[in-house]
Amino acid sequence: MNQLTSMEDFYKSLKDISIINSGLDEKREQLKNYINEFNGVIQAKSVDENIAKQNPEMAKMLEETLVHIKNSTNVWIENFEEALKKEKFRSDLENYFIIIIFGKVKAGKSSLGNFVAKRKLDTQTVQFFKYDEAGQKQSIKKLEEIEDTQFATNNLECTIEIQGFTLDGMAWIDTPGLGSMVKENGELAKAYIQSADYIIYPTSSDSPLQQDETKQLKELFEQNKKVTICITKSDEKEEDEVDGEMVQILQNKSSNRRDSQEKYVNDEIIKILQSNKESVLGDIFSISTHTASKGLEDNNDILFEQSNIPKFYELITKVIKEKSTKLKSDTPYDGFRSFIDNGILGIGSSDNESSISTIKDKLYDLDKKIKESFERFEILKENANNDLESEIESVVAEYSNKITQANSNEIFVTIDVELYKKVVEIIQKNINEIFADFDMALESLTTSFSTSDFLIEDKYKTIKTSTENKNKTFFSGLLNVVNVCIALIPHPAAKVVSTIIMSTGADTYLGEKIGEMTSSEATESIKIGDNKGEVIQRFKADRLKHYELVAKDIYKGMQNSFFSPLQGISQDVSSKLSTFEQNIKKIRG
């Protein structure tokens, strides 16, 4: 059978696999140190007591963010340690080109492996092995108990452990069925996938490329894995009459059915490949190990050829001859980069909660909340200052009519006590949506002031006066009085008074005195009111300035005890995260 040539060519090529091992120990050690260093810094972070006391909601958000980052760094450490354990699996097979067949339950994985192992050349030896969940390699003796040196299978779970065989320079690894009844089996398969130099992904012809398989392939492509996709179990049985009896005849599925399924799988793969088209090695085609085996047993060339197994052998032979050396060399670095890209950075994966990408999103949300809260705080401060001025004006106006010289000290003290209460209410009202606790902040609020600075006193006006004018006024007035008296006394005695005045020359004397008056100046203070209005205005200005300064100190205290520590933690974590990210990107290369 000419078709057997492709099979022989494959087995012969296994002898010529050239292995180039790449050392990554130094880079792995660097990565481990960076992770541990960052983890140490993050684990030491905690929420300040004042933050928790003054704003429980913000403190909770900060705490949740820190817990998420701490958990993420722990996951990185655990995953890195797990990856190092899996390196033992790879180191055991470091001299082999590792092919892993990876897919769902009953996708034909073990059947394909069995076929490849069974058709080896007579000069070749197959050595079977298996790894348990702890990654420990089991002795070959346990596999020797398997009938016909084939893989152990279980109807419920298919391959229940990592198992495989080595054949010259190739290691063929058969993984547990994804979606098996035991969840750990699927996780075990994923854990070992990173060690693969080359992956064969079978999808059953019964229902090719289901949604979960598409997701798995996308993950493989994101890990830079090189994959060959096959539609397996592409066969069917038809009833036919042989020697008068109805029997089931095994045959390949029709070309039309195969073409339709292959087109569907190709179209779905294109959707998830994006720009990484080199991830898929070879065409996607249908195969059947059952019709291939039947064709070989019955010497049925057509049945064997149409099984497409010869085509499958040609493909993997080409991969081994042309790509195995490079793939083997690149795989350790691909695995290292994939761990950083997917496990830590979160590149190309939106559902990795432990990634730096997710952490950045949470820090962004936290910073946004802090910024919004701070901006709101500034607005509330301004509102409080405006309200403060209004309240001082209102309270003083209420008492202004009651203020006198006698009670001014008492009234001003009363006003300030009331202002103290108003200031407390104003600050609480305007910023209680941000701060829940004011005890510490309001301790700095005081009402003390000196009443001697606000005394109400009479106001006087000093005027200048002339002595000449004053004397003339006096004597003139006196003379007028005399004349009036003479004129008004209706009695004979008036003549006596007049005679006396005139005989004594009093009228002449008064007139002469008025004429002799000389000019001189003097000063005099006249009461014109008090300074009550000025004192009240000065009191209002003083109290406004005082309480604005006190409020300013309170706001500063709130900022120092709340916003500064809050922003400090967020900024420090962001800075440390940025440095860590730069470091791991640098060693990633």
- Residues 492-505: what's their mean pLDDT? 54
List pLDDT tens digits, range 308-363: 999 999 999 999 998 888 888 887 787 788 889 888 998 866 678 899 999 999 99
Q: Per-residue pLDDT for 478 more than 80?
A: no
User: Is residue 496 one of the residues assigned to a domain?
Assistant: yes
Share of the chain above pLDDT 70, in %: 77
User: Is residue 197 one of the residues assigned to a domain?
Assistant: no
Domain region containing 526:
458-530
Q: Tell me, what's the pLDDT at 516?
A: 57
Distance CA 332, CA 87 (A): 9
Please name the residue ranges forming H helices in 339-355: none
User: Is residue 513 one of the residues assigned to a domain?
Assistant: yes
Strand (E) or helix (H) holding 192: helix 183-193
Distance CA 72, CA 47 (A): 18
Segment of 107-121, 179-193, 429-443 carrying the highest mean pLDDT: 107-121
User: Is residue 220 one of the residues assigned to a domain?
Assistant: no
Distance CA 355, CA 43 (A): 17
Q: Which of 143-147, 200-204, 405-409 has the lowest mean pLDDT?
A: 143-147
Instruction: Write the CA distances from 200 to 99, 197, 246, 362, integer angstroms.
Output: 7, 10, 37, 38
List phi, psi (to 5°) of 375.
Answer: -65, -40
User: Is residue 147 one of the residues assigned to a domain?
Assistant: no
Instruction: Dump the DSSP string for 196-256.
Output: -SEEEEEEETTS-S-HHHHHHHHHHHHTT--EEEEEE--EEEEEEEETTEEEEEEEEPPHH
135: left (phi over 0), alpha (psi -120 to 50) or beta: left
**Taking all residues of the chain, what is their mean pLDDT, rounded to a whole number?**
80
Q: pTM of the full predicted structure?
A: 0.59
List pLDDT tens digits, range 25-67: 788 889 999 999 999 999 999 988 878 888 888 889 999 999 9
Task: Assess contact for 268 and 232: CB atoms under 8 A.
Answer: no
Report residue 50 CA to chain centroid gap: 22
List phi, psi (to 5°) of 455.
Answer: -85, 140
List pLDDT tens digits, range 117-162: 989 999 999 988 877 666 667 754 332 333 333 444 444 444 456 7
User: Is residue 517 one of the residues assigned to a domain?
Assistant: yes
Q: Per-residue pLDDT for 175 more than 90?
A: no
Q: Per-residue pLDDT for 186 more than 70?
A: no
- Residues 274-301: what's their mean pLDDT? 87
Task: Assess contact for 2 and 309: CB atoms under 8 A.
Answer: no
Please name the residue ranges forming H helices in 489-531: 493-504, 506-516
**Quick check: helix, strand or coil at residue 275?**
coil
Q: Tell me, what's the pLDDT at 500?
A: 53
Distance CA 314, CA 6 (A): 6
Distance CA 127, CA 142 (A): 12
Task: Assess contact for 543 and 28: CB atoms under 8 A.
Answer: no
List phi, psi (to 5°) of 116.
Answer: -65, -45
Task: Assess contact for 131 and 137: CB atoms under 8 A.
Answer: yes
**Quick check: helix, strand or coil at residue 515?**
helix
**Quick check: helix, strand or coil at residue 528?**
strand
- Residues 292-300: what's their mean pLDDT? 93
Match 């004597």 to its residue by tokens.
475
**How many structural domains comprise the chain?**
1
Distance CA 59, CA 55 (A): 6
Task: Assess contact for 112 and 234: CB atoms under 8 A.
Answer: no
List phi, psi (to 5°) of 197.
Answer: -85, -25
User: Is residue 33 one of the residues assigned to a domain?
Assistant: no
Q: Per-residue pLDDT for 209 more than 50?
A: yes
Task: Assess contact for 395 and 422: CB atoms under 8 A.
Answer: yes
Distance CA 319, CA 341 (A): 26
Instruction: Write the CA distances from 339 to 77, 132, 348, 472, integer angstroms.
Output: 12, 23, 12, 118
Instruction: Write the CA distances from 158 to 163, 191, 219, 288, 290, integer angstroms.
Output: 11, 18, 22, 18, 17
Task: At 4, list the tokens.
Answer: 């057997």
User: Is residue 505 one of the residues assigned to a domain?
Assistant: yes
